[in-house]
Amino acid sequence: MTGTSLGKSKISPTGNSSDVSVLGISGSPHRHGNTETLLDAFLDGARDAGAEVEVEKVVIKNLIYRSCQGCNACHKDGVCILTDDFTPLFEKILSVDVLAIASPIYSMGITAELKSLIDRAQPYWARKFVLKTLYFDYGHYQSHKGLFISTAGQSWDHVFDGAFPVVNAFFSDMGFEYYDNVIANKMDEYGGIKGHPAAMNDAFAKGQKVVRVVKKIKKKKSSEEETDDSVQAPPVVE
């Protein structure tokens, strides 16, 4: 079985008929642990923001993939030499309006799972900056929002600082505005995310908010497009 056909069973096909599509990607190897639970609260909030919202969660731990091989073949044609479960996942990422990527802090950075996905985005970086075949305009970034969801054991406020630049680069390469963070430290003190209801409420509220914001932007965009279409060409005077 190829990676692509495996991917089909785990990642729904692209093409969203709903108003706002939201994809959550869990990069925690710990199923239903602190980080995935916080991501779930965010996705519940997104679902709660109204009808016509399509919400999907993908867990990297359940996928079959290889890390970037550093061959730089994508610098020549913008295509990765690897075909596996990350292949349809990247198509999915490019098709959604809201992307939430989640990782606990491991050794002051993101997990190997999420980093593997981010490194595999190199073909998109190559299309943007080497081949110049991929371009996202300001309007695209504005209507595509990225959020980083994370938990950490320690109480240091700066415990997430190693993760932010990586997340920023990924969102930029994939056409998302880095919109917000949903982060909770002191997990050791709280005895896990369930002992920190304020963080769970914050995640839920941010899920609701981002869907409402994107809905508004998309509505405004489509009414502007309708106005443009309705402008009639002046009659031809002979």
The footprint of ligand FMN (CB under 6 A) covers 28, 30, 33-36, 104-108, 151-154, 159, 187
Strand bridging mode 98-102 / 20-26:
parallel
Where b means 16+ CB within 10 Å and e means fewer, 94-127 reads: eebbbbbbbbbbbeebbbebbbbbbbbbbbbbbb
CB of 28 to ligand FMN, least distance (A): 4
Task: Quote the Cα angle for 141-226-233, to 5°.
Answer: 120
Nearer to ligand FMN, 6 or 108 (CB): 108
Q: Is 231 helix (H, G, I), strand (E, B) or coil?
A: coil
Least distance in angstroms from the C-beta of 105 to ligand FMN: 4
- Give 34 or 208: the residue with its C-beta nearer to ligand FMN: 34
Q: Which of 180, 187, 178, 182 is nearest to 156 (CA)?
A: 187
Using the minimum distance from each CB to ligand FMN, give the nearer residue, 106 or 124: 106
Contact in structure between 80 and 125 (CB atoms under 8 Å): no
Which residue has the closest beta carbon to ligand FMN? 33
Tell the smallest beta-carbon distance from residue 98 to ligand FMN (Å): 21
Q: CB of residue 187 vs ligand FMN: minimum separation in angstroms?
A: 4
CB 91 within 8 A of CB 14: yes
Residue 163 CB, shortest distance to ligand FMN, in Å, is 10
In the numeric block, the tokens 């490019």 are attached to 94
Write the single-letter amino acid at 59. Answer: V
Cβ pair 147, 100 in contact under 8 A: yes
Point out which residues pair with 126 in neighbouring strands: none
Output the smallest distance, CB 18 to ligand FMN, in A: 28
